[in-house]
Amino acid sequence: MKPYVIQLVQQLKQEDYGKRMNYATFMQESMEDETMTDRLIFSDESTFHISGKVNRYNSRIWGTEKPSTVIEHERDSVKVNVFGAISSRKLYCPFFFSERSVTSNVYLDILEVWLMPQLDSDSTDYIFQQDGAPPHWSTEVRTFLNQHLPKRWIHRSRDANDVFCSWPPRSHDLTPCDFFYGVM
């Protein structure tokens, strides 16, 4: 017998399967436009603990053998939150938060003051993606994005008319930013 670790994943609901398929089909069809990959801007934030502690649910170690490593960590260690965005042509990062946690007001400030001015100076035809984190879903953030990027942002949405397309619920947060943060 071998011991194993249980991997926890979000349970999909019956209605999620169709939404995921619709998203994948829509994005695949959108890629027929040769400019699409250059227009996409992926964004995400991550937390780095100064002690080196990692989120075991977001960390993967790839290798030919299963590592048998135990890592000690300091509880409540000092951490830094980092935000970034990435396109096929440019990295927009890092933005280090001075706040202990990312609230919707803090996130909106980042968009208004730091990220959108950079994106707007590079192009006026980009499509902005963000995941379904609670700070991204506030009324103020959605109102700002609807005004600033009408139908040019990807996010979970009850009304698909607001966004370029809806990010499927309970989806894996697997964007280019995750790979970039993995090497930081």
Please list the residues that pair with 84 across neighbouring strands.
44
Residue 167: its pLDDT value, please?
79
Low-confidence residues of the chain: pLDDT under 70: 1-9, 52-63, 67-74, 157-160, 172-174, 178-184
Residue 61: its pLDDT value, please?
60
User: Pairing mode, if any, of strands 127-129 and 91-96?
Assistant: unpaired
Residue 68: its pLDDT value, please?
66
From CA 119, how far away is CA 66, in angstroms rounded?
A: 41
Q: Which residues, including other chains, have CB under 8 Å from residue 41's CB and lie 6 or more apart? A: 85, 86, 87, 92, 119, 126, 127, 128, 129
2-183 in CATH: which number? Answer: 3.30.420.10
Residue 130: exposure state from Cβ atoms within 10 A (0-12, 13-18, ≥19): buried
Cβ-based neighbour number of residue 162 at 10 Å: 15
Residue 101: its pLDDT value, please?
83
**H-helix segments, the chain:** 14-30, 36-39, 104-109, 116-122, 139-148, 176-182
Residue 150: its pLDDT value, please?
92
